[in-house]
Structure 1
Amino acid sequence: LEELGPVCEKFDVWLHVDAAYAGSAFICPEYRHYLKGVEYTSSFCFNPHKWLLTNFDYLLEILDWFQEFNRTKPKKFSR
């Protein structure tokens, strides 16, 4: 990400990280070094239900955010 990110930023290319399985590991400090350059990403996806045993039922809590995340040009997220 550290090498690819600046190139994507320079040419206005969307950079997506699909961390469906590994993304949950980033809550552990010993794995966070793999996130270097994540600030360049346009989107980041991880699925807590795969490692953290979180059910899909919790998705209902974020439905009010869902429309914003599905926009073609999303705004910066803030609660």
Structure 2
Amino acid sequence: MEELGPVCEKFDVWLHVDAAYAGSAFICPEYRHYLKGVEYTSSFCFNPHKWLLTNFDYLLEILDWFQEFNRTKPKKFSR
């Protein structure tokens, strides 16, 4: 991510990290060095149920545009 991230940012390319298994390990300080460059990602997801003993099919996705999305008022649909 550290090398690819700036290129994706320059050309406005979506960079997604699918850390389904390894993502849970990042809570441990000794594995956080693998997150270098994560600030360039557009989205990051991991599955806590694979290592963290949560309910099955639990997914956490972090999006860089979430705050902007959350501020947007939904349009009303009409028939």
Report the alpha carbon displacement of residue 56 of structure 1 after superposing the two structures with TM. 4.2
**Taking every aligned residue pair, what percent have the same amino acid on both sides?**
99
- TM-score, length basis structure 2: 0.72
Does the 8 Å CA contact 1:17/1:45 hold for their aligned counterparts?
yes
Bigger radius of gyration among the two: 2
Q: 1:23 to 1:69 in 2, by over 3 A?
A: farther
Structure whose residues are more often helix by fraction: 1
Moved more, 69-78 or 6-15: 69-78
Separation in 2, partners of 1:33, 1:42: 19
- Identify the residue that residue 76 of structure 2 maps to in structure 1: 76
TM-score (norm 1): 0.72
> Which stretches in structure 1 are left out of the alignment for 5+ residues?
none
* Structure-1 separation of matches of 2:46 and 2:77: 17
Gaps of 5+ in 2: none
Tell me the matched-pair count. Answer: 79
**Divergent runs of 4+, >6 A:** 57-79
